[in-house]
Amino acid sequence: MLIRDSQIPLHIQMADALREQIRRHELLPKDRLPSERELCELYNISRITVRKALGTLNQEGLIQSTVGKGNFVAQAAFTEELQPLSSFTQDLARRGMQASSVTLSQAIIPADDHLAEKLSIPRGAEVVSLNRLRLADGLPIAVQHTQLPHHLCRNLLRFNFSDRSLYDILQGEYGLVLTRSDTDMMAALAQSDEANLLKLKLPAAVLISEQITYLENGVVIEITRSTFNADRYKLHTHS
């Protein structure tokens, strides 16, 4: 309940209370909030106070207002920090979230001209192809297509990638030292298969990351193309 003799204004206290419910997942994305009248009665405050609190949460991106329908908890937007060699699993762990994956396909394929050039291997050499749907607390965040030179990570596909980081496997199981990565970013429209996996309604904007990761001797260990749900992911770099 709100503390009326507090130095903290009532609308801020109400916003804090709702924010905490969202943080604790007591209110989930797409949940409809009580109406303004119901909130007035629940917190015993005026409609003006309620509107100020809702306006604060709206500005923070925690809720969304739909004319004629009410206020709804917004889909969370996860910030991806473009840190060298920071895995998806590590990024989410820093936020207190659980990363997991669904393997869409995996195979050993021969390198075509494009892969041979990108991975600096002969045409026809074996390449590990791993396609995954990445999730945060069970919600789809990105579709990732990864290729690695098989001779550097023999039998890689024997591992279960559902809840284990690829980087952890490369470093822990194969003793590989990953030292740097180059990343290019671009905006695009989702393809139909990507939209289906990411639960997007076409047309939908996505963010695409193309990353090349290197070992300490300068050899390329992986190339990964990630398609992120642009509504749920923000990407920024460190200067």
Q: Which H/E stretch holds residue 59?
A: helix 47-59
- Please, are residues 229 and 200 in contact by the beta-carbon 8 Å criterion? yes
Look at residue 79 in the predicted model and tell me its pLDDT: 46
Give the span between the Cα atoms of 37 and 221, in whole angstroms.
58
Look at residue 89 in the predicted model and tell me its pLDDT: 65
Range list for CATH 1.10.10.10 in the chain: 10-73
Res 235 pLDDT > 60? no
- Please, are residues 110 and 125 in contact by the beta-carbon 8 Å criterion? yes
Per the DSSP assignment, residues forming a β-bridge with 78 are 233
Chain segment 200-217, per-residue pLDDT in tens: 888 888 888 899 999 989
Look at residue 7 in the predicted model and tell me its pLDDT: 81
- Number of H helices and E strands in the chain, helices first, is 7, 10
Range list for CATH 3.40.1410.10 in the chain: 78-236
Burial class for 157, CB neighbours closer than 10 Å (0-12, 13-18, 19+): middle
Task: Give the confidence band of 184 by pLDDT, cuts at 50, 70, 90.
Answer: confident
Look at residue 239 in the predicted model and tell me its pLDDT: 36
Residue 236: both structure tokens together: 């920024």
Per the DSSP assignment, residues forming a β-bridge with 143 are 133, 227
If we measure between CA atoms, which residue out of 82, 78, 97 comes closest to residue 213? 82
Look at residue 119 in the predicted model and tell me its pLDDT: 95
Give the span between the Cα atoms of 65 and 67, in whole angstroms.
7
Res 154 pLDDT > 60? yes
Task: Give the confidence band of 69 by pLDDT, cuts at 50, 70, 90.
Answer: confident
> CATH says 10-73 is which class?
mainly alpha
Question: Which CATH superfamily is 78-236 part of?
Answer: Chorismate lyase-like (3.40.1410.10)
Task: Give the confidence band of 188 by pLDDT, cuts at 50, 70, 90.
Answer: confident
Chain segment 85-138, per-residue pLDDT in tens: 556 666 666 666 677 889 999 999 999 999 999 999 999 999 999 999 998 778
Give the span between the Cα atoms of 35 and 70, in whole angstroms.
7
Query: Which of 4-8, 190-194, 230-234 shows the lowest per-residue confidence on average (mean pLDDT)?
Result: 230-234
Burial class for 145, CB neighbours closer than 10 Å (0-12, 13-18, 19+): middle
Q: Which H/E stretch holds residue 130?
A: strand 126-136
Res 84 pLDDT > 50? no
